[in-house]
Structure 1
């Protein structure tokens, strides 16, 4: 089966891996809590509840492939929030969202070879944030289809998530698709379990709690996005 599409993970794959202070993240997220004139209205306490809620939500993603949204974090924490107050949380993450400079030329090379380019990301963020990041960095017009777990019921490594990404790029046979990601569980094992081939780009420091129950064996391993087209050609026998 000839390769027709290459689908990419986002964080740690199309963006460079960054170690993040998750306590600071929770404090930024807590800025969106609707404040009440009460002794219990403690910003740091809200942040702690949101941090614990994040562990629960991402645990469901890892163990049950259950997707979630930012709103679900607040529900899990038992806190009411105002979506219009998420700017501090967005600003916290924005410096970590920059597209790898190698991504644009790599996308262009794949498309010049007649291949579709897709994105499938596990995320609680809304689609418009991700699209905005790609548009900011001038690469969204090079993406044929993109799916974010916040808009579907599943996360990777569920085969349903990969099927949604294949549908987005217009390819029906998983054997005609290659998935590229930095995680041996979500990305490599998940892609193989769904019938896709997989390329591993091991440039991320995956936290132990996110590793998952199985590590896949990739069809190829590369050390930069610039090497993806050659790896795809090799898998395709070109």
Structure 2
């Protein structure tokens, strides 16, 4: 069956994998805690509560495919926050958001073959952040649709999340769609449960707590985004 759409994971797929200091992340996130004259003002205590809340929120994503937002993370931590004070958190992550240099030419090659291209990312960040990263790197206009789980009820590997991404790019038959991602649970197993084929990019060091209960057997494996168009052509003949 000819491939009509290729949908990509974001972190570790369209961006290259980075190891992250999650303690430093929590300290940056704690800068957004709203403080009053009578409130607790222990920055490190706030960061620790946010770190524990992050494990809970992402655990719900892994085990129940329940989505969340940054606001939900603060709620889980029992902390009030000011969205206008998230700059330190944004600045912490921004160096890790660079689009792989191979992505642009690869996306252009897929589109020139008449294949629709999309993004489906498990994220708590708002759409505007992701769009801004893609626009900064000059690739946003290469996507036919993009879905961020912070704006839908589900996360990968729920088939409903993959269906939302298919709808975003105008695809109706999962058998004519390919998903590309770095995780054997969220991306490979999830896409296959949704009826899609899956390409694995095995370049990420997935933390043990994020591995999930099942691993899919990818339909193909690539070690470079530049390999994706040829693999998609091959999958379209099988």
Query: How far apart, CA to CA, are the structure 2 residues paired with 1:197 and 1:106?
Result: 18
- The C-alpha deviation readout for 1:174-212, integer Å capped at 9, x for no partner, is 001000000000000000000000000000000000000
Q: Say yes or no: does 1:187 pair with 2:149.
A: no
RMSD: 0.9
SS of 1:11's partner is helix
Q: Which runs of 4+ in 1 moved over 6 A?
A: none
Query: How far apart, CA to CA, are the structure 1 residues paired with 2:45 and 2:36?
Result: 13
SS of 2:14's partner is coil
SS of 1:223's partner is coil
Query: How far apart, CA to CA, are the structure 1 residues paired with 2:176 and 2:230?
Result: 16
Q: Structure 2 regions of 5+ residues with no counterpart? A: none
Q: Shift of residue 19 of structure 1?
A: 0.2
Query: How far apart, CA to CA, are the structure 2 residues paired with 1:36 and 1:215?
Result: 47
Partner of 2:214: 214
Partner of 1:58: 58
Partner of 2:19: 19
| Structure-to-structure mapping, 1:130-145, within 5 angstroms | 130-145=130-145
Query: How far apart, CA to CA, are the structure 1 residues paired with 2:101 and 2:222?
Result: 16
| Structure-to-structure mapping, 1:131-210, within 5 angstroms | 131-210=131-210
Q: Choose 33-42 or 216-225, whichever is displaced more.
A: 33-42
Query: How far apart, CA to CA, are the structure 1 residues paired with 2:213 and 2:39?
Result: 42
Query: How far apart, CA to CA, are the structure 2 residues paired with 1:2 and 1:60?
Result: 36
Partner of 1:89: 89
Give the TM-score normalised by the residue count of structure 1. Answer: 0.99
SS of 2:37's partner is coil
Query: How far apart, CA to CA, are the structure 1 residues paired with 2:32 and 2:44?
Result: 13
Q: Shift of residue 237 of structure 1?
A: 1.4
- Aligned pair count reads 238
Q: Shift of residue 60 of structure 1?
A: 0.1
Q: Shift of residue 2 of structure 1?
A: 1.6
Query: How far apart, CA to CA, are the structure 1 residues paired with 2:163 and 2:95?
Result: 31
Query: How far apart, CA to CA, are the structure 2 residues paired with 1:178 and 1:164?
Result: 14
Q: Shift of residue 35 of structure 1?
A: 1.1
Query: How far apart, CA to CA, are the structure 1 residues paired with 2:10 and 2:102?
Result: 13
